[in-house]
Structure 1
């Protein structure tokens, strides 16, 4: 028999056969056996879960076993170690998706998941691979920041003010419609008086009214013009039983638009006005929030669902708002709210699981400014105050880092914080004060001495104070400091008083008047009011206190009016210790309004008024204006009602001295659920402008372009850029005056010019003044990142825990480069936002982890030495055909 090897040797060939004809080739093992191989006995889910919860490292290269040694051994060891860690996290997520978990166990699983994700991200940031590229996040050819900065615009569009044909008369234009338009320009101010009665008998349509106003503006010699704008009318989707029904789009809706120019500042002023009351409420089962605007005595003017007499406006808050606990109005009639958000908006992503956002709404209900606190983990906003100079103070609690890299005494416990913004929403200073145990700020106020006062509660001694046991109340003063007019403003704590009993105590409301400070709250189950004397340093000293009896509820607000303390809240106690009762308790939980002496002594002038029905009523918030008390909350809910049962909101104005209800209104909401949370009163905030959808005051044309203002980023946050060419990693740190432009240059430089960063504008396409021409205005700007031509791109890596800038920018860690590069790239996309809050979220987390494991398996396959060889096509290559022909010829000669 002729040996093939002999033949191949004769003709210059090679053979993979080790034996003679008909022998079986011996396979050479080229890759170590993977832990997911069918030949490897897998660990049980219970064993993996037990290992994950043991507290040991998830990723440990020392625990990996390789049965083949080759040039890629280091890569295999890293991949197998990561696979083991991800398998443990998968077991954690799988357990969280099971039923009947206790809150404690879910919390433990969540803690382990968060720590595990952080560990894997850190490991990938340090691991060096040779044959492949594995990154935290995604592998993309380009990326775009979710965070965006608003463009300057001189255009303002109202909400819908008319439904129907453009030639129809507009109901909002009827009657006595008068207002002034003031245009500020370099040559002097121009005041244009608009009085629609001057149109005489001419029908007041969109076209005729805008033409009338524009004639006035043109006569004044200004460039600003008023127009109409058609709003898109979309089909409506409703549910009828189990069926989803799509209804056709409704009739056309129209708005007014104001088209100005950059060198003209426009403001609207009503000729006559009255007080406006804003109520923020949660509505429906979807968890949405909206703002209702009321004017006492106003008639019903809208056909919207759930509209009631006295209501003159309604606007929704952005998605992601979880709750709103406090609101206030500014000197310019604007409304400020502090909201907790669980997810950022489309232009303002957040860095952690939850954050606090300060929003400013104009009198027409449009959000004109939004400021995120920038918490790295979680924060909650409990209080807001607006000073006479327009400054805004926000207080609450923060868990984890706030100042980049600083997480407080315990990263898992909440600390109190207070932040002060100027009238334009630019942060002036932030103070974080925390005890060793948990604490939170629940009230804030600007004092007559210029200081900011914060009240709250703590589970241990606050810095500079001594605790009494359990939760204690506290009052803290902060003084501002500024070396010179160009230096940054800072603040320091100048006085604190901690008080309470051996039980649990709290401060639920606070107010300052002159050199006196008052608090009200529940202390060891009893309702207590305290009076403090504030000295020259801002330090508060207790003067007196008064026990009003068993609380059986909570305090919603406190104020001092004409030398008397007025407080309001809710209680089940029908016999609070407050002298004369104007109106008796009605049953269940009632709202109450109490009047007592300012020195807190009992007096014959004390008055107590209960407000509510036989069911449960709440006082979610209270404001006292001109000696009258405004209350809002849930009205007369059946005792023992379930969470999904219908609720109605109410708004009422009471005379605290007589107990008379001077005005009230109730309403429901989407899904028959309405839950008012805050109230704010604007003196002179209601006028004919509300009917027109126009705001009082100046129309904002620009906002801060600094990223620390427009996004959730804080100065000192950072991320890393690793060049795909040199492998060099460079930190990109956010400065206090960072803009999109400066950040773009930083990223390009850090990447060694392997990345190209440009500014992209998302434009708003709107209808022009002629009703047909399309123009662009407003919109936002973002960073667009791609790889430079002919370069390998770069890897973006998150900053350290507590100071990660990628999350605030809305960028995913990962590789940005050409799809075909020297190294195959695989993204282990494990976002820090993976949640185990419920079974559904845990199931989604499990799927995400499984995709990450698949990426590791794909990387393993890419390391196979044969993976780069051409795949069989079903037809032998030409050189093999030639060799076979030579074999055949040789055999023919040998065999004759």
Structure 2
């Protein structure tokens, strides 16, 4: 055939001779060996032999490719038609050209989304096409088998190693208490400092009174205080200890001196439980504030604890950023204080927060902060569909409940979906471990907006729906529903509330064995009591006439039988009115308008106080108007103002506030958390990540069949490693490694073997949750040493690093995805140059080998490399049918 004749002519001329020292005009090879083609545009025959990216071949504009991709039902077209590459006979080349053309279409779509002026509808259409196209192209790549080479959609690795997952340790380090050496005395250690330390061992609890006044004239350094408490523990026969830990803070300027910091470390044993409590006369109220704040250009959140509320000084015990990984957002929606004064918050996150990785575009993150501001643990709902959390509650037994809405099926085996948004409620124990999850969508859209937990662990939810929900009657328009669950997640009852018009939830209170539901109708706010077990209505509907509220927007209650309603007096008015009611009688205790005249954005009550958050308009010194969040505290009986504090939160983002009635001033000053010292000791992966039982990923050994690995109930990193080893057999090892409280999974192939990890279909990406990435691990060949044999090189591997998902919801994200596709195409072209039998590529590899050999200048390894590349080139020619 003609091409073989041209190649033979070149071979006879010495162009392929290893002895040749002259350079070859590669344009001859590029044009199929025809020198005449260099004087004019290429012919159709010549174009058919070119790679699709060859600059001499006619190239369609990306805008046309994008338009065609939007119209086409499939992006992968296995026919190359009569265009570039259509005349190649090598199967590898054809396969790579087909993939190139498919990825180019995705590239064109991302490029279109990265332009200015793209409408929301067009962007949505592009996003949907990219999602379908990614699934199609990745499936085609996975099914493509190259001859003499290995193609993977992910990355090539030496081994698979997960990101570390934090484990609980039996020690607690306080925040830095003082700057200075071991003789420095923290200001907080001075004065009247005392607390009660309870130690529980073998079911027996011992009280140890700690009063720093008993130290006498001994300086209250961190080390001396640690020894003082440890001596008391030792004298009582316990193994738990306090000690001083010194850390170093790097200098802030070049050539500066480092700063020494002192902190306390509390170490205990698995058989001893430590609980820290306030003593009489040493407690004070505290206010937790959580809300949005711009951090590094992205909307994140900040959590603060304010004390000294009844004084003139504004004291802040701590302020901590709640931020998602770079490029993501984290917005707090709700918060609640636990019995020990700890704070629980829920946030909607679009990226990793404290090791918890959203499965979908957004997930609901649940976090516990101790009273010093340190994160005790972080859990995620684990929904693969976009989810939002609206309400959070805690019960006397420590049961936590989260309610919200999810757009699609969440990652559970029992959940069902309706159309549009679905309500969800998730229950966790005091350590954030899953108890149960419920999602049952109506045929319309619905969402859960309020949640409360009963004394027995039962859960009550209010929400809104546009259709029949939970079997309850449809009233018309947007209905309000009330649903109750027992402690196991079994539905007790579902009730519909409202009228034939659009109605909305106002709030929910549990008191005296009743569930008090408040909702809004066209004619005003309404309240109805229901039996907590049966759901039977008790009494008649109260139109809240005494409260004179047209609509309720916020609701809170305290343990003294008081209910606080915030809302608006007239339809369309500002929701800036606060009304306090006595629950049992319905009598109005007081009414109040927000001091700023703006809407009340959040409400909380505890002890003898109620507090609300609103906006304040301020004029900065540089000119212009800004808005900040202000929290006002009132006496719960009279409504008289107790305090007013400015908060460091954005006024245009949700804000959550929570009052703690009694927190220990001494424990705060010593940096010790109030309540039981917990370490998040669970080893189960479903407690420490967003994984759920039933999540899967696939393992492929040496290109064989996919073997799915399924996460089981109670799965730990160690049991997962054992499960993997049963699949890997002798071709590799899986190991659970633990170092300094961080546990990771390491999967290593044996020399000469390869192990691929792959995300599988379904609602979850288990690899992402484990901190692993899809790709192939192939160990690098061992270098030969004297008296040993080297491990032979594996076949060439083309790792495309193809995205699994893509986001073009805005211009910046579309540009990032475009860059990702550009990288895929670049890596595909590099792979083509490495394995193609095209004469140009063969000669280029030969010349590269010759150059490498020259640089080696007599090195044995350089000669070996040259010989190997020459052999590869000769093998490629043989596959074209050329005798060499």
- SS of residue matched to 1:113: helix
Q: Deviations over 1:816-873 (max 9, x none)?
A: 1134653322222233453223222221111111101112222322331366786232
Aligned residues of 2:380 and 2:690 also touching (Cα < 8 A): yes
- The answer to whether residue 193 in structure 2 is matched with residue 174 in structure 1 is no
Match in the other structure for 1:595 = 580
Deviation at 1:731, TM superposition (A): 0.6
Deviation at 1:200, TM superposition (A): 2.5
- SS of residue matched to 2:646: strand
Count of aligned pairs: 797
- The answer to whether residue 344 in structure 2 is matched with residue 336 in structure 1 is yes
Measure the CA separation in 1 of the matches of 2:429 and 2:307. Answer: 29
- The answer to whether residue 117 in structure 2 is matched with residue 112 in structure 1 is no
Q: Deviations over 1:193-222 (max 9, x none)?
A: 222212233332223333333333333343
Q: In the alignment, which of 282, 285, 290 is matched to residue 302 of structure 2?
A: 290
Which deviates the most, 261-270 or 332-341? 261-270
Distance 1:15 1:560, change over 3 A: closer
Aligned residues of 1:137 and 1:830 also touching (Cα < 8 A): yes
Deviation at 1:740, TM superposition (A): 0.6
What runs of 5+ residues in structure 1 fail to find an aligned partner?
A: 19-23, 238-245, 301-307, 481-488, 578-587, 764-778, 880-896
- The answer to whether residue 704 in structure 2 is matched with residue 742 in structure 1 is no
Deviation at 1:115, TM superposition (A): 2.6
- The answer to whether residue 531 in structure 2 is matched with residue 534 in structure 1 is yes
Measure the CA separation in 1 of the matches of 2:259 and 2:68. Answer: 62
Q: Deviations over 1:69-90 (max 9, x none)?
A: 54x42x4444333222222221
Aligned residues of 1:283 and 1:674 also touching (Cα < 8 A): no
Measure the CA separation in 2 of the matches of 1:806 and 1:406. Answer: 22
Aligned residues of 2:563 and 2:583 also touching (Cα < 8 A): yes
Aligned residues of 1:331 and 1:389 also touching (Cα < 8 A): no
Match in the other structure for 1:775 = none
- The answer to whether residue 728 in structure 2 is matched with residue 751 in structure 1 is yes
Aligned residues of 1:520 and 1:555 also touching (Cα < 8 A): no
- SS of residue matched to 1:377: coil
Aligned residues of 2:418 and 2:442 also touching (Cα < 8 A): no
Match in the other structure for 2:859 = none
Match in the other structure for 1:311 = 316
Which deviates the most, 373-382 or 347-356? 347-356
Deviation at 1:343, TM superposition (A): 0.9
- The answer to whether residue 289 in structure 2 is matched with residue 279 in structure 1 is yes
Measure the CA separation in 1 of the matches of 2:550 and 2:105. Answer: 47
Aligned residues of 1:796 and 1:815 also touching (Cα < 8 A): yes
Measure the CA separation in 1 of the matches of 2:293 and 2:766. Answer: 34
Match in the other structure for 1:609 = 592
Measure the CA separation in 2 of the matches of 1:172 and 1:390. Answer: 31
- The RMSD of aligned alpha carbons is 3.9
Measure the CA separation in 1 of the matches of 2:342 and 2:657. Answer: 13
- SS of residue matched to 1:266: strand
- SS of residue matched to 1:757: strand
Distance 1:554 1:116, change over 3 A: farther
Deviation at 1:742, TM superposition (A): 1.3
Aligned residues of 1:473 and 1:500 also touching (Cα < 8 A): yes
Aligned residues of 1:149 and 1:705 also touching (Cα < 8 A): no
Matches within 5 A, 1:371-770: 371-404=379-412, 408-409=416-417, 413-447=420-454, 451-480=458-487, 489=488, 491-500=489-498, 504-523=502-521, 528-534=525-531, 536-538=533-535, 543-546=540-543, 555-559=553-557, 565-569=563-567, 571=568, 589=574, 591-596=576-581, 605=588, 607-613=590-596, 616=598, 618-626=599-607, 628-636=609-617, 646-655=626-635, 658-668=638-648, 677-724=655-702, 727-763=704-740
Deviation at 1:444, TM superposition (A): 0.9
TM-score (norm. length: structure 1): 0.80
Distance 1:450 1:758, change over 3 A: closer
Measure the CA separation in 1 of the matches of 2:369 and 2:529. Answer: 34
Measure the CA separation in 2 of the matches of 1:17 and 1:648. Answer: 80
- SS of residue matched to 1:517: strand
Match in the other structure for 2:68 = 51
Aligned residues of 1:652 and 1:663 also touching (Cα < 8 A): yes
Aligned residues of 2:589 and 2:638 also touching (Cα < 8 A): no
- SS of residue matched to 1:712: coil
Q: Deviations over 1:752-789 (max 9, x none)?
A: 442322223342xxxxxxxxxxxxxxx2101122222x
Aligned residues of 1:146 and 1:348 also touching (Cα < 8 A): no
- SS of residue matched to 1:53: helix
Matches within 5 A, 1:107-256: 107-146=124-163, 148-150=165-167, 152-186=168-202, 189-236=205-252, 251-256=259-264
Deviation at 1:418, TM superposition (A): 0.7
Measure the CA separation in 2 of the matches of 1:363 and 1:668. Answer: 19
Aligned residues of 2:174 and 2:671 also touching (Cα < 8 A): yes
Aligned residues of 1:404 and 1:803 also touching (Cα < 8 A): no
Measure the CA separation in 2 of the matches of 1:404 and 1:824. Answer: 41
Aligned residues of 2:163 and 2:744 also touching (Cα < 8 A): yes
Deviation at 1:45, TM superposition (A): 2.0
- SS of residue matched to 2:128: helix
- SS of residue matched to 1:518: strand
Q: Deviations over 1:864-885 (max 9, x none)?
A: 1366786232799999xxxxxx
Deviation at 1:295, TM superposition (A): 3.2
Measure the CA separation in 1 of the matches of 2:746 and 2:285. Answer: 46
Match in the other structure for 1:484 = none
Aligned residues of 2:163 and 2:771 also touching (Cα < 8 A): yes
Aligned residues of 2:322 and 2:330 also touching (Cα < 8 A): no
Distance 1:666 1:107, change over 3 A: same
Matches within 5 A, 1:752-791: 752-763=729-740, 779-788=741-750, 790-791=751-752
Deviation at 1:165, TM superposition (A): 4.0
Match in the other structure for 1:823 = 795
What runs of 5+ residues in structure 2 fail to find an aligned partner?
A: 16-27, 35-45, 782-792, 855-862, 868-884
Aligned residues of 2:516 and 2:530 also touching (Cα < 8 A): no
- SS of residue matched to 1:267: strand
Distance 1:471 1:831, change over 3 A: farther
Q: Deviations over 1:56-79 (max 9, x none)?
A: 122232466653354x42x44443
Distance 1:325 1:157, change over 3 A: same
Aligned residues of 1:296 and 1:663 also touching (Cα < 8 A): no
Measure the CA separation in 2 of the matches of 1:234 and 1:589. Answer: 51
Match in the other structure for 2:266 = 258
- SS of residue matched to 1:461: coil
TM-score (norm. length: structure 2): 0.81
Deviation at 1:523, TM superposition (A): 4.6
Structure richer in helix, relative to its length:
2
Aligned residues of 1:236 and 1:248 also touching (Cα < 8 A): yes
Q: Deviations over 1:219-258 (max 9, x none)?
A: 3343332222234424559xxxxxxxx8957743322212
- The answer to whether residue 851 in structure 2 is matched with residue 834 in structure 1 is no
Which deviates the most, 344-353 or 400-409? 400-409
Measure the CA separation in 1 of the matches of 2:832 and 2:387. Answer: 41
Measure the CA separation in 2 of the matches of 1:647 and 1:469. Answer: 39
Distance 1:400 1:162, change over 3 A: same
- The answer to whether residue 846 in structure 2 is matched with residue 871 in structure 1 is yes
Measure the CA separation in 1 of the matches of 2:734 and 2:96. Answer: 32
Q: Deviations over 1:454-498 (max 9, x none)?
A: 111223332413445553322222235xxxxxxxx5x33342223
- SS of residue matched to 2:430: coil
